[in-house]
């Protein structure tokens, strides 16, 4: 609270730039401990916009203009708000408060520690047991006579950033594990990520070896040998180094590097060439800029897309996953994946491979399990990468954003293969940044345990699971060919496109486009109801046994087609070249994400209906002076 | 048949056919006057591939005298060695499919190639396949076409006050590319029209193409005025246009050329409507690419799609460089502007470019789809195409003579119709519930415009079709597309009628490459088709259930199933 210099400012103008809004709305700005809240003055709408402080990525103050001073709020979900405050002093206060509030210094300041939904202690504990990784290993058929759970890392003795429970080959004894861990960067020794029951091949992960130019380690060599032996059908394993070869070689000078094929018998080294976190950070900034371009020409847009390199990186990650999946499913060869520390690119490649290999991870629950296993539990540095606390900006990078986008690109290629829809992916993306739940807090399991997050915060997974109806892809059918078996995507460049739903809010929030998905969900729901009803009727017929049936009485249900969402009333786009700011306001955005208002559901805000104002025509030369 | 002189080798055995999405097959190749027929001789397979020769855009042949050939099948190597030579013909089709034929025997290969080259681009229209196509399911006496301007006029009662049907062009002497009947303002008589026709390129005087029922405003289209360098003007033309906006304060002229292009056109006898002579008309210049530039754009795009490169930057820069999506953007935004003028601003508009047979038709069609719900059903859309493209005189024969693969020197080719279909697809994608037809229909039309069994797209205008007796001697595509079985496949299961205008977004992010067409022969398009199939099944299933659990709803469910 001490950071809020002014809790309330009146007569503020807010422009949600990312929603394509053209005219600012006037209202009152409130600063709470957790949210920036803007309430419109317009008595008819009283529209509220809520922005969580932890979602703010930057606060910028622009030079004062006669109408007042301006603050620009950029969010981690790529929304942009422009706030115009009449008094410069107020503006300064708002700016200073927001700068401080959006950069918490301690975990204790984070929203999840004050977020208190109306549940009791038991329910909270239950929420954490929703996610059970042991069950997932069991589903893979583990432990078995090839792979066993090891206690080597209990109390995080061997590797601080690993979980306490891990699966290793049966022949890997504790001395081998400990020795191998000493030879691996940050002690991240080879451990199992996914076991493919059909071929008995496995996907394993670790960090780079501390080999330098000539170093070797018997235990590590024995460890890789054990990995190979754990797959009876094969006489070698792939070691996939997800870095560009040049980077891997450079690491040798620092006493790290990659496996020397002369020292390890029976490995095949394969470099993929995913760039490092710094390249990705600047690439994402470029694609955000592309999404923010106001009236780009097709050339500007495509050039911007190419120049950002973003799709190239997405493709590299998908290619890595595909290589692993093919090795495991087609060749039956186990794969050991690493990058430098084995928590960024490795997590990406392994989890994409799992998605491709196993239909389970293409379900709603499956994707949660996968993220919990390969990211949360294996020690991905969520707090550093997603800037939960004020820290080193060089540690920030959209690593999991890229994984989520890979899944989206796949779902575009295989529209019937995923149980979830785009909304689910966007929701996950949002919660990774929001700090509303404890799931993604901290950088590893140990940190989360030390912070006692299980007692002090809530888990996001059961919340998402509760809402699964709105995250379901109506085209998904588990028994369909697309949904089954190994997914073999095409990774030719033309198969990739910009994820408009995430990066281009301007388009997204122009009044609702027709959504066949929503329509189909209704169709499906109604079909199920009808089926049930039909079954009921048949039972009744059987029961009545020949008595005449009065259909009219029995059936009072709606049989008209489900209503599609309404079309917007007017063009949101203008077919002319804009030159100055038009005096026209499109309907308010319908989607308001992250209105994670404590206690109150977000539904109400979602229901802000469209008020189709008649836009002014606006052609060149002031032709239409309406 | 006179085709036989072009066929030296009619049959070849032991040919290997490679085509996208299928495993290679071995069988017999047969060439006829209009078709290439391949029948699979593999055991347990009776696959036949029938390819219309007209669909072939280009072929490449390579023959070798070989002992080195590594055949796909071991016995292939044997038979090739016996004849001592073989050849390969790569066939690139106008629907962008690429086939490859491995033919044993150099001479046979060359003969086949020569026959294909000659027969795939026959000059004489009366020799084309539609004149020979006689399906058992249809009779030549069936109704030809969906509607006519006469019928259109008589149905549009709202028009009768101020508009009349003129038959000044009944013998095609006033305007060779117009149909026999046109709709013009009531106050203009035929003499006047003849004079106006002399003032417009190709005689394409302003005629009504769309009447907006909500406010009585209209879209007119014409060709450019022939003002020439000495700025001629034509009183009748001015009067005609004045009659169009009678009672309203102004109208717009959307010229699909840039101001500079329009001014330059004066040097060659064309020009634009001057402010002084057409004081109540406001001109808007919107440059749209046409002709050769458009064809080259298509060639570049198809080339980029065919490249197997793995490099993202290269793909994006090639996509940009082709400019195809820019053309889509321009077309949709110009159509949006046109619809905005009529629907929102409430004024009549005259559209023209230079000839008035290409971009003019493109944007007037799109604007009608945006504004008029009756154009968005399957029948409505086909009727619109018939009226605005076939009858209005888009020169299909010239524009669709060759497609993206051809090495022939470009003459009049230009993929304007394809661009229209692409724009309609963008609309369809942005408004999946608002259009009554499916992507499959657009794909079918894209194929049929270039090579067809039907006579619909034959010739460049109604006059040519009359002279050839197209109506009497061929079958009508649009009628065929509306037969029950076709209707099932070409209707949109999600269609829901809406009275509102559908304003497309023209942000570059909202426009996408039309994968269904440009990447039609790649496997992942198949997954998207599966999704469409799933949607269809779901809706049909739903319809059946509704039907079986509630007899009262019978009619509605039937509607669903018949869609």
Residue B506: which of A523, A534, A573 has the nearest Cβ? A573
Residue A623: which of B282, B305, B507 has the nearest Cβ? B282
Residues of chain B above pLDDT 90, percent: 59
In angstroms, the CA B97 to CA B160 distance is 48
Q: What residues of A are in contact with residue B535 (Cβ under 8 Å)?
A: 475, 516, 520
In angstroms, the CA A336 to CA A240 distance is 6
The helix or strand, by DSSP H or E, that contains position B546, with its residue range, turns out to be: helix B523-549
Strands A35-40 and A25-31: antiparallel
Q: What is the pLDDT of residue B329?
A: 95
Lowest-confidence pick of A196-200, A546-550, A611-615: A611-615
Q: What is the pLDDT of residue B304?
A: 93
| Mean pLDDT across B434-457 | 94
What token pair was written down for A148? 């066993």
Tens of pLDDT, residues B14-52 = 899 998 888 888 899 999 889 999 998 776 667 888 999
Residue A351 DSSP code: H
B395 pLDDT more than 90? yes
Q: Annotate B342-376 with b (16+ C-beta within 10 A) or e (fewer).
A: bbbbebbbbbbbbbbbbbbbbbbbbbbbbbbbebb
Strands B217-221 and B348-352: parallel
CB contact residues (below 8 A), chain B span 414-453, against chain A = 430-434
In angstroms, the CA B62 to CA B82 distance is 19
Cβ B305–A496 below 8 Å, yes or no?
no
Q: Is A159 a catalytic residue?
A: no
Q: What residues of B are in contact with residue A362 (Cβ under 8 Å)?
A: none
| Mean pLDDT across A530-540 | 79
> In sequence order, what are the residues at sequence separation of 6 or more whose Cβ sits closer than 8 angstroms to the Cβ of residue A100?
A3
Give B276-282 contacts, CB < 8 A, sequence gap 24+.
Answer: B277/B233, B277/B238, B278/B238, B278/B241, B278/B253, B280/B242, B280/B245, B280/B249, B280/B250, B280/B251, B281/B241, B281/B245, B281/B250, B281/B251, B281/B252, B281/B253, B281/B350, B282/A623, B282/B250, B282/B251, B282/B252, B282/B253
A238 pLDDT more than 50? yes
What token pair was written down for A575? 């077919």
CB A335 within 8 A of CB A237: yes
Q: Name the pLDDT band for A20 (thresholds 50, 70, 90).
A: low
Cβ A492–B530 below 8 Å, yes or no?
no
In angstroms, the CA B340 to CA B370 distance is 10
Q: What is the pLDDT of residue A547?
A: 52
The full DSSP string for B24-38 is: -EEEEEEE-SSEEEE
| Mean pLDDT across B353-382 | 95
Nearest to B245 by CA among B210, B276, B280, B283: B280
Nearest to B218 by CA among B333, B334, B332, B351: B351
| Mean pLDDT across B429-458 | 93
**Does A541 touch chain B if contact means CB atoms closer than 8 Å?**
no
Q: What residues of A are in contact with residue B494 (Cβ under 8 Å)?
A: 516, 519-520, 564
Tens of pLDDT, residues B268-292 = 999 999 888 998 999 999 999 988 8
Closest-CA residue of A relative to B549 is A534
Tens of pLDDT, residues A273-294 = 999 999 999 999 999 888 888 7
CB contact residues (below 8 A), chain A span 447-476, against chain B = 474-475
Q: What is the pLDDT of residue A567?
A: 57
Q: What are phi and psi of A144, to 5 degrees?
A: -140, -165
CB A297 within 8 A of CB B298: no
What token pair was written down for B436? 């009554």
> In sequence order, what are the residues at sequence separation of 6 or more whose Cβ sits closer than 8 angstroms to the Cβ of residue B77?
B69, B70, B71
Q: Name the pLDDT band for A573 (thresholds 50, 70, 90).
A: low
Q: Annotate A42-80 with b (16+ C-beta within 10 A) or e (fewer).
A: eeeeebbbbbbbbbbbebebeeeeeebbbbbbbbbbbbb
Choose from B307, B509, B536 for mutation: most chain A CBs within 10 A: B509
The full DSSP string for B223-265 is: --B--TTTT---HHHHHHHHHHTTTSS-EEEEESS-HHHHHHG
State the SS3 of B102-166: EEECHHHHHHHHHHHHHHHCCCCHHHCHHHCCCCCCCCCCCCCCCCCHHHHHHHCHHHHHCEEEE
What token pair was written down for B283? 């001109």
Q: Name the pLDDT band for A1 (thresholds 50, 70, 90).
A: low
> In sequence order, what are the residues at sequence separation of 6 or more whose Cβ sits closer than 8 angstroms to the Cβ of residue B5?
none
Measured N-to-C along each axis, helices B324-339 and B416-430 cross at an angle, to the nearest 10 degrees, of 70
**Does A578 touch chain B if contact means CB atoms closer than 8 Å?**
no
| Mean pLDDT across A179-188 | 95
Cis peptide bond upstream of A328, omega within 30:
no
Cβ A415–B312 below 8 Å, yes or no?
no
Nearest to B440 by CA among B395, B493, B401: B493
| Mean pLDDT across B293-306 | 93
Q: What residues of A are in contact with residue B430 (Cβ under 8 Å)?
A: 513-514
Q: What is the pLDDT of residue A300?
A: 94
Please indicate whether residue A551 or residue B141 has the higher confidence score (pLDDT): B141
How far is C-alpha A563 from the geometric centre of its chain's CA atoms?
31
The residues pairing with B64 across neighbouring beta strands, listed in sequence order, are B86
Give the C-alpha distances (Å, rounded to integers) separating A488 from A140, A323, A461.
21, 10, 28
Closest-CA residue of B relative to A521 is B538
**Chain length of chain A:** 626
B491 pLDDT more than 70? yes
The full DSSP string for A371-385 is: HIIIIIITT--HHHH
Q: How far is A346 from chain B (nearest CA, A)?
A: 22
Q: A91, A112, A206, A339: which is the annotated catalytic residue?
A: A339
Q: What residues of A are in contact with residue B284 (Cβ under 8 Å)?
A: 619
B530 pLDDT more than 90? no
How many beta-carbon pairs below 8 A join chains A and B?
197
- Using DSSP, state whether A182 is helix, strand or coil: helix
Q: What residues of A are in contact with residue B522 (Cβ under 8 Å)?
A: 490, 492
Q: What is the pLDDT of residue A319?
A: 96
Cβ A301–B531 below 8 Å, yes or no?
no
A626 pLDDT more than 50? no
Residue B530: which of A311, A482, A576 has the nearest Cβ? A482
Cβ A303–B320 below 8 Å, yes or no?
yes
Nearest to B420 by CA among B385, B444, B383: B385
| Mean pLDDT across B301-324 | 91
Q: What are phi and psi of A290, to 5 degrees?
A: -60, -45
Burial of B148 (0-12, 13-18, 19+ CB in 10 A): middle
CB A364 within 8 A of CB A465: yes
Cβ A312–B434 below 8 Å, yes or no?
no
B184 pLDDT more than 90? yes
| Mean pLDDT across B484-505 | 89
Q: What is the pLDDT of residue B217?
A: 93
Q: Name the pLDDT band for A522 (thresholds 50, 70, 90).
A: confident
- Mean pLDDT over the full length of chain A: 83
Give the C-alpha distances (Å, rounded to integers) separating A404 from A310, A472, A595.
14, 16, 22
How far is C-alpha B218 from the geometric centre of its chain's CA atoms?
24
CB contact residues (below 8 A), chain B span 315-344, against chain A = 315-317, 319-320, 323, 325-326, 329, 333-334, 336-337, 340, 344
Residue B340 DSSP code: I
ipTM for the predicted complex comes to: 0.89
Q: What residues of B are in contact with residue A291 (Cβ under 8 Å)?
A: 509
B410 pLDDT more than 60? yes
Q: What is the pLDDT of residue A227?
A: 94
> In sequence order, what are the residues at sequence separation of 6 or more whose Cβ sits closer than 8 angstroms to the Cβ of residue B511?
A298, B325, B328, B329, B332, B426
Nearest to B446 by CA among B15, B17, B95, B26: B95
Choose from A417, A537, A575 for mutation: most chain B CBs within 10 A: A575
Residue B320: which of A299, A490, A524 has the nearest Cβ? A299
Closest-CA residue of B relative to A412 is B528
What is the value of pTM for the model shown?
A: 0.88
Nearest to B523 by CA among B163, B66, B23: B23
In angstroms, the CA B138 to CA B135 distance is 6
Residue B326: which of A298, A510, A576 has the nearest Cβ? A298
Give A485-489 contacts, CB < 8 A, sequence gap 24+.
Answer: A485/A359, A486/A325, A486/A329, A486/A356, A486/A357, A487/A325, A487/A355, A487/A356, A487/A362, A487/A410, A487/A414, A487/A417, A488/A322, A488/A356, A489/A318, A489/A322, A489/A356, A489/A409, A489/A410, A489/A413, A489/A414, A489/B524
Choose from A316, A501, A530 for mutation: most chain B CBs within 10 A: A530
What token pair was written down for B253? 């002229």
Closest-CA residue of B relative to A319 is B310
A580 pLDDT more than 80? no
Tens of pLDDT, residues B235-247 = 999 999 999 988 7
Cβ A567–B531 below 8 Å, yes or no?
no
Please indicate whether residue A595 or residue A209 has the higher confidence score (pLDDT): A209
- Mean pLDDT over the full length of chain B: 88
Q: Name the pLDDT band for B84 (thresholds 50, 70, 90).
A: low
Residue B433: which of A497, A506, A564 has the nearest Cβ? A564
Torsion of Cα atoms, B329 then B334 then B340 then B342, to 10°: -150
Please indicate whether residue B86 or residue B427 has the higher confidence score (pLDDT): B427
Tens of pLDDT, residues A87-119 = 888 999 999 999 999 888 988 888 888 887 777
CB contact residues (below 8 A), chain B span 54-93, against chain A = none
Nearest to B298 by CA among B455, B441, B153, B96: B96
Measured N-to-C along each axis, helices B359-371 and B378-385 cross at an angle, to the nearest 10 degrees, of 160
**Does A586 touch chain B if contact means CB atoms closer than 8 Å?**
no
- Using DSSP, state whether B77 is helix, strand or coil: helix
- Using DSSP, state whether B375 is helix, strand or coil: helix
Choose from B310, B545, B547, B559 for mutation: most chain A CBs within 10 A: B545
A505 pLDDT more than 70? no
CB A97 within 8 A of CB A5: yes
Residue A575: which of B305, B337, B548 has the nearest Cβ? B337
What token pair was written down for A607? 């229901």
CB A236 within 8 A of CB A224: no
Cβ B534–A571 below 8 Å, yes or no?
no
Per-state percent for chain A, helix, strand, coil, to nearest 5: 45, 15, 45
Binding site for substrate, residues of A? 276-277, 339-345
Measured N-to-C along each axis, helices A422-434 and A364-371 cross at an angle, to the nearest 10 degrees, of 30
Residues of chain B above pLDDT 70, percent: 93
Please indicate whether residue A32 or residue A578 has the higher confidence score (pLDDT): A32
**Does B20 touch chain A if contact means CB atoms closer than 8 Å?**
no
Q: What residues of B are in contact with residue A555 (Cβ under 8 Å)?
A: 549-550, 552
């Amino acid at each position: 609270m001490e950071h809020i210099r002014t809790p309330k400012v009146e007569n503020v103008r807010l422009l949600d730039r990312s929603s394509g809004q053209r005219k600012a709305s006037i209202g009152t700005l409130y600063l709470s401990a957790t949210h920036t809240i803007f309430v419109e003055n317009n008595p008819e709408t009283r529209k509220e916009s809520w922005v969580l402080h932890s979602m703010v990525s930057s606060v910028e103050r622009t030079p004062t203009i006669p109408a007042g001073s301006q603050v620009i709020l950029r969010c981690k979900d790529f929304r942009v708000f422009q706030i115009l405050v009449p008094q410069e002093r107020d503006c300064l206060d708002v700016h200073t408060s927001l700068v401080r509030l959006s950069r918490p210094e301690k975990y204790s300041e984070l929203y999840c520690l004050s977020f208190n939904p109306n549940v009791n202690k038991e329910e909270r504990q239950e929420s954490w047991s929703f996610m059970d990784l042991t069950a997932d290993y069991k589903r893979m058929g583990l432990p078995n006579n090839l792979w066993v759970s090891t206690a080597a890392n209990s109390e995080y003795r061997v590797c601080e950033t690993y979980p306490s429970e891990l699966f290793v080959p049966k022949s890997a004894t504790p001395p081998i594990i400990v020795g191998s861990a000493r030879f691996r960067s940050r002690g991240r020794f080879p451990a199992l990520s996914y076991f493919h029951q059909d071929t008995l091949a496995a996907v394993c992960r670790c960090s780079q070896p501390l080999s330098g130019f000539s170093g070797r380690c018997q235990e590590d060599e024995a460890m890789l040998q054990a990995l190979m032996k754990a797959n009876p059908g094969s006489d070698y394993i792939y070691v996939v180094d997800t870095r560009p070869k040049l980077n891997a070689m450079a690491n040798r000078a620092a006493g790290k590097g990659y496996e020397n094929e002369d020292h390890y018998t029976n490995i095949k080294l394969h470099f993929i060439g995913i760039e490092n976190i710094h390249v990705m950070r600047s690439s994402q900034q470029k694609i955000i800029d592309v999404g923010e371009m106001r009236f780009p020409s097709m050339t500007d847009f495509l050039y911007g897309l190419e120049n950002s390199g973003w799709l190239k990186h997405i493709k590299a990650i998908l290619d890595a996953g595909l290589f692993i999946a093919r090795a495991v499913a087609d060749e039956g060869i186990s794969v050991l994946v690493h990058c430098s520390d084995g928590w960024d690119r490795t997590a990406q490649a392994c989890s994409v491979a799992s998605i491709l290999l196993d239909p389970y991870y293409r379900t709603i629950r499956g994707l949660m399990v996968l993220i919990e296993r390969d990211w949360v539990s294996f020690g991905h540095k969520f707090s550093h990468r997603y800037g939960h606390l004020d820290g080193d900006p060089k540690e920030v990078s959209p690593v999991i954003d890229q994984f989520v986008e890979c899944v989206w690109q796949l779902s575009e290629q295989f529209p019937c293969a995923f149980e979830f829809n785009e909304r689910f992916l966007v929701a996950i993306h949002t919660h990774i940044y929001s700090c509303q739940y404890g799931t993604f807090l901290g950088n590893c399991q140990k940190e989360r345990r030390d912070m006692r997050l299980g007692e002090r915060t809530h888990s996001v997974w059961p919340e998402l699971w509760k809402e699964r109806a709105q995250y379901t892809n109506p085209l998904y059918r588990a028994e369909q060919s697309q949904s089954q078996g190994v997914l073999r995507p095409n990774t030719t460049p033309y198969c990739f496109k910009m994820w408009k739903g995430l990066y281009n809010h301007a388009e997204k929030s122009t009044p609702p486009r027709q959504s066949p998905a929503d329509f189909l969900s209704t169709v499906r729901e109604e079909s199920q109801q009808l089926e049930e009803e039909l079954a009921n009727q048949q039972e009744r017929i059987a029961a009545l046994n020949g008595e005449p049936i009065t259909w009219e009485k029995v059936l009072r249900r709606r049989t008209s087609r489900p209503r599609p969402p309404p079309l917007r009333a007017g063009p949101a786009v203008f077919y002319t070249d804009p030159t100055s700011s038009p005096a026209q306001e499109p309907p308010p955005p319908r989607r308001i994400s992250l209105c994670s208002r404590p206690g109150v559901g977000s539904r109400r805000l979602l229901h802000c209906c469209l008020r189709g104002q008649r836009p002014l025509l606006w052609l060149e030369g002031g032709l239409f002076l309406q | 048949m006179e085709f036989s002189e072009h066929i030296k080798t009619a049959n070849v055995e032991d040919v290997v056919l490679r085509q996208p999405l299928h495993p290679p097959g071995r069988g017999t190749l047969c060439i006829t006057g209009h078709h290439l027929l391949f029948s699979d001789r593999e055991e347990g397979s009776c696959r036949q591939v029938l390819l219309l020769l007209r669909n072939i855009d280009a072929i490449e042949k390579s023959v070798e005298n070989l002992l080195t050939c590594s055949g796909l099948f071991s016995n292939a190597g044997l038979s090739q060695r016996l004849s001592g030579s073989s050849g390969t013909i790569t066939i690139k089709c106008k629907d962008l499919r690429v086939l490859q034929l491995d033919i044993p025997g150099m001479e046979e290969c060359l003969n086949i190639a020569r026959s294909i080259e000659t027969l795939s681009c026959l000059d004489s229209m009366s020799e084309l396949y539609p004149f020979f196509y006689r399906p058992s399911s249809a009779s030549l006496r069936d109704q030809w076409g969906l509607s006519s301007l006469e019928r259109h006029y008589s149905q549009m009662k709202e028009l009768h006050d101020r508009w009349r049907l003129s038959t000044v062009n009944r013998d095609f002497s006033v305007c060779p590319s117009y149909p026999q009947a046109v709709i013009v303002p009531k106050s203009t008589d035929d003499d006047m029209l003849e004079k106006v026709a002399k003032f417009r390129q190709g005689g394409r005087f302003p005629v009504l193409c769309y009447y907006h029922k909500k406010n009585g405003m209209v879209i007119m289209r014409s060709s450019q005025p022939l003002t020439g360098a000495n700025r001629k003007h034509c009183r009748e033309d001015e009067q005609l246009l004045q009659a169009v906006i009678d009672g309203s304060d102004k109208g717009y002229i959307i010229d699909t050329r840039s101001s500079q292009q329009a001014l330059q056109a004066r040097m060659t006898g064309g020009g634009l409507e001057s402010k002084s002579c057409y004081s109540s008309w406001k001109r808007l210049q919107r440059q749209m690419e046409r002709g050769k530039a458009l064809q080259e754009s298509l060639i570049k795009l198809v080339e980029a799609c065919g490249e197997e490169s793995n490099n993202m930057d290269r793909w994006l820069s090639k996509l940009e460089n082709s400019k195809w999506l820019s053309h889509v953007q321009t077309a949709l935004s110009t159509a949006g502007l046109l619809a905005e003028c009529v629907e929102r601003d409430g004024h009549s508009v005259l559209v023209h470019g230079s000839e008035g047979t290409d971009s003019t038709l493109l944007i007037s069609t799109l604007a009608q789809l945006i504004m008029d719900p009756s154009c968005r059903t399957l029948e409505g859309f086909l009727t619109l195409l018939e009226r605005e493209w076939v009858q209005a005189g888009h020169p299909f024969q010239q524009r669709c003579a060759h497609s993206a693969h051809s090495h022939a020197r470009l003459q009049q080719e230009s993929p304007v119709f394809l661009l229209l279909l692409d724009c309609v697809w963008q609309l369809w994608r942005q408004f999946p519930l608002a259009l009554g037809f499916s992507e499959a229909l657009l794909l079918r039309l894209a194929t049929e415009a270039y090579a067809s069994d039907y006579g619909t797209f034959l010739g460049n205008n109604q006059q040519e079709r009359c002279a050839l007796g197209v109506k009497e001697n061929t079958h009508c595509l649009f009628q065929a597309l509306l037969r029950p079985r076709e209707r099932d496949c070409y209707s949109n299961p999600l269609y829901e009628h809406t009275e509102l205008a559908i304003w497309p977004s023209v942000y570059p992010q909202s426009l996408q490459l039309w994968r269904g067409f440009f990447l039609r022969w790649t496997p992942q398009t198949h997954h998207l088709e599966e999704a469409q199939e799933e949607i269809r099944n779901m809706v049909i299933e739903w319809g059946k259930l509704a039907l079986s659990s509630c007899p009262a709803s019978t009619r509605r469910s039937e509607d669903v199933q018949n869609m």
